A and B are shown apart, each in its own frame.
Chain A
Amino acid sequence: MRNTKSKTSLAVVAAVAAGSLALAACSAGSGGTSGGNGGPGSGGTGDAGDGALSIGLVAEPANLDFTKTDGAAIPQVLLYNVYQGLVQLDQNGDIKPGLATKWTVSDDRKTYTFDLASDAKFTNGAPFTADDAKFSIDRVKSAWTVSLKSAMNVVASTTVVSPTQLKVVLSKPSNDWLYRMTTRVGAMFSRTGVDDLAAKPVGTGPYSVGTWTRGDSIQLVRNDAYWGTKPAYKTVTFKYFKDPTALNNALLTGTINVIGTVQTPESLGQFENNDKYQVIEGTTNGEVVLSFNNGSGPMKNEKMRQAVRYAIDHKALVDTCWAGRGTLIGSMSVPTDPWYEDLTGLYPYDVAKAKALLQESGEAGQTLRLRIPTLPYATACGTVVKSQLEQAGFKVALDQLEFPAAWLTTVFKNADYDMSIVAHVEPRDMGAVFGDPTYYTRYTNPEFSALLAKADAGTEQEQVTDMKAAAKLLSETAAADWLFVLPNIIVADKGVTGLPKNAISESFDVTGLSGS
């Protein structure tokens, strides 16, 4: 160390110190006089009227425009809360009125006539009319870029009958179309409110977007001009946590009032044994699929796929890797689907049968590449799948691929894998995952595709019958193995009521929340 006499040095120390102090004292970010977020330390009992509530979630939206940006995080915040559709899903998975008070379907099942609410308004002050509804549906085809826009391909024409009546004609009967209208694709936009969708959404819902602190939180503010029943909380803030421990700690220390979706079921003990909190368990659309490459390699062999299905002890697996929470299903359908049936009996756990089929298949010497994404459920269950398969005589190489980037390229795009584990969270995605031979599952089955097409075109009763048959066919041919359905686990302060038990729509619906 050199030591030199100088007066400058102290001045520098002082300057560094003063600079830091000045920085700390002056405002960072935008000054706003918003009411802060969910009353840290308050124990979070928001009193209806002007209370605030904070909800902790995992994935933050990249922006607020789901017409151009994919991902579940955007509709989770905006749908039903900020944007409304003509129809929406209730907690049982049934389609119920939204901005449409009622609708009729013609006998040929191609013409839908919607009667619209006459008193609905957008947050920019414009009234909601049939013109906006036509504009919104047409705009999916013209301006949307996300792949989901294909849900509107079946629409042949939209006609404004009167300000409160809209007629939609489909090119062919489609049960699925009305269902998709409950998702983000059916969101209603204002003709004068689509200039800055990425930052300033304009909808008819009970909330509008307030302060958005990127990387931290999005605040929703009650829309006092809302046409329906006004929600109890004045502000609802979604806060984002990459780390499950940080999320749990935020609830324990009162920074948030609700954990919207628990990522680590094994950590629930600290809340279940504490009467300050309530734990709510419902269901989701997320089938955790042990997917097979049906198109090439050893898993192209049906005997091989069946052998794997017999080798998995699903009950033990869920107990080990997801704290015993989650429903066993046996095919690509969840309990809230109208056509759901429990198909776990088709391939019961049977190691002897698995070993026999493995020998018959002629692929016994092959090493199966189990390539899983770095997601909590996949990493937890991947090791269990590997060990169960090895007990039945399989050779398995387990690779963890960074999600999303590496997994998307290797498994999803190039199908360079034999097995993977991924939760397919989209609603009613049997056709999306197994109906397209170019999809990463590489499943090709004309009989299955024909059943899907018939289901879409028939009456609602025929739809249920055909979808049941399709799910059964999928399971019998062992197109994949279905490990379990992700549970929807919410932990909240005791006083919060109206939490959406089931996560089966694309929305985290906060409109019914209130506090005691």
Chain B
Amino acid sequence: MLLRLLNRLGILVASLVVSSVVVFAFMAVLPGDPARVALGVNASDAAVAQLRTDFGLDRPLPVQYVSWVTGLVTFDPGTSYVSGIAIAPQLVDRLQVTLILVGVAMLLALVVAVPMGTVMAVRHRKLSGLALSAVAQLGVAVPGFLAGILLITVFAVTLGWLPANGWTPPAQDPVMFVKQLILPVLSLGLVQAAVLTRYVRSAVLDVLREDYLRTARSKGLTPGRALVRHGLRNAAVPVVTVLGLQLATLLIGAVVVERVFVIPGLGSLLLDSVSQRDLIVVQDVVMLLVVAVLVVNFVVDLLYLVIDPRLRAGAR
């Protein structure tokens, strides 16, 4: 058990190191000079050279890499090239926005997928079950940004029920916050719901074939009751795993959805920073996303060890 834990931890650290090197290397080969972009079109070569020195861009690449990683490990992500402002508070602000978006979208996905998947499993031979399956298939096929554009066109521009875009901090105006959150969460969450529905369906189908359900039925419970009382909690195990894996997809989806809905989250920061060649910010944001995904997967792994006695025994 301990050995397995250490093994997993080792994999986590190795993945982090490798991805940090890859992210840094990508930024190093990106064309364009951050200092020149920061100074604008009328800057003299001398001023650009001076700024490169100030940024530390004139140092050898390995030195730059080490100083960047040292900063990350000590929770100092550095200073933006373009604005000259510390990055840490910006990351915190933007992360809050993106987490709300992703969290609520995930919640929506669960709320839709669990009942829908269950019904699909229970009625998998009936027409209603097949119809739901078809809807889920459609949902998987529609990309988030397209869903977003369609939702804006219908509910904001045509019907005028909701704002087309924007973000209001909940403390400032809770009503507006909710209004502006609905459409982006739908475009992000419904796609996830469709994916998740299929997992729920297959997990519930697996459970339905288990002996203990038959036992429960023989005690006089209706099929529905038996499933709710004994089956769903078991079906939840693989679904939770999938949720962890889905986080990566959700975060990537959020980048696009934030752009469509003009939401100042991590995704918008990432895209703006790439176009401004604010490389240090790009590196920090990408690493933050990488860490989030890797850590969640690590936690899911651990949960598995805790949950599944067969794994604890070391048998696979």
Contact = CB atoms under 8 A, between A and B. Distances in A.
Q: Indicate, yes or no, whether A interacts with B.
A: yes
Interface residues of A, number: 70
B107 A21 contact: yes
A408 B32 contact: yes
Contacts of A13: 110, 236, 239-240
A235 interface: no
A6 B312 CA distance: 14
A69 B268 CA distance: 21
Contacts of B162: 253
A433 to B, nearest CB: 10
Interface string B3-25: 00000000000000000000000
Interface string A238-253: 0101110010011011
B172 A32 contact: yes
B94 A239 contact: no
Contacts of B259: 242-243
A17 B166 CA distance: 25
Interface string A16-42: 110111011111111111101100110
A409 B306 contact: no
Contacts of A198: 83-85
Contacts of B100: 20, 23-24, 28
Contact of A70 (B40, B80, B172, B236): B40
Contacts of B71: none
A12 B37 contact: no
A20 B107 contact: yes
A80 to B, nearest CB: 21
B116 interface: no
Most buried by A among B39, B99, B235: B39
Contacts of A406: 31-32
Most buried by B among A17, A255, A409: A255
A91 to B, nearest CB: 26
Contacts of A146: 39-40, 42-43
B143 interface: no
Most buried by A among B40, B94, B106, B238: B40
Number of contact residues on B: which range applies?
35 or more
Contacts of A63: 83-85
B61 interface: no
Interface stretch (B122-130, B219-227, B271-279): B271-279
Contacts of A12: 236, 240, 303
Interface in B87-103: 90, 93-94, 96-97, 99-100, 103
Interface stretch (A105-113, A211-219, A300-308, A504-512): A211-219
B268 A29 contact: no
Nearest to B202: A1
Contacts of B37: 404-405, 408
B262 A408 contact: no
Contacts of B237: 2-4, 6, 9
B165 A250 contact: yes
A414 to B, nearest CB: 11
A233 B236 CA distance: 55
A461 interface: no
Most buried by A among B157, B166, B176, B179: B166
B280 interface: no
Chain A: interface secondary structure? loop
B134 to A, nearest CB: 22
Interface string A209-229: 000011110000000000000
A264 to B, nearest CB: 15
Contact of A255 (B82, B164, B199): B164
Most buried by B among A20, A71, A147: A20
A37 B83 contact: no
A408 B33 contact: yes
Interface in A130-181: 145-148
Interface in B214-260: 232-240, 243, 259-260
Contacts of B206: 1, 3
B163 A253 contact: yes
A246 B41 CA distance: 28
Contacts of B275: 402, 404-405
A147 B272 contact: no
B239 to A, nearest CB: 8
Contacts of B240: 9, 12-13, 16
B89 to A, nearest CB: 9
Contact of A214 (B110, B170, B264): B264
Interface of B: 30-33, 36-45, 47, 80, 82-85, 90, 93-94, 96-97, 99-100, 103-104, 106-107, 110, 152, 156-157, 160, 162-173, 176, 179, 181, 199, 202-203, 206-207, 210, 212, 232-240, 243, 259-262, 264, 268-269, 271-272, 275-277, 303, 306-310
26 contacts: A3-B234, A4-B307, A4-B309, A6-B237, A8-B307, A31-B169, A32-B172, A62-B38, A70-B39, A147-B39, A147-B47, A198-B84, A213-B264, A216-B166, A239-B166, A243-B262, A246-B164, A246-B165, A249-B157, A250-B163, A252-B157, A252-B164, A255-B166, A402-B275, A408-B33, A408-B36
Given A2-B308, A36-B168, A243-B259, 12 more contacts: A10-B233, A12-B236, A12-B240, A20-B106, A28-B96, A31-B171, A216-B264, A242-B262, A253-B157, A404-B277, A405-B30, A409-B33
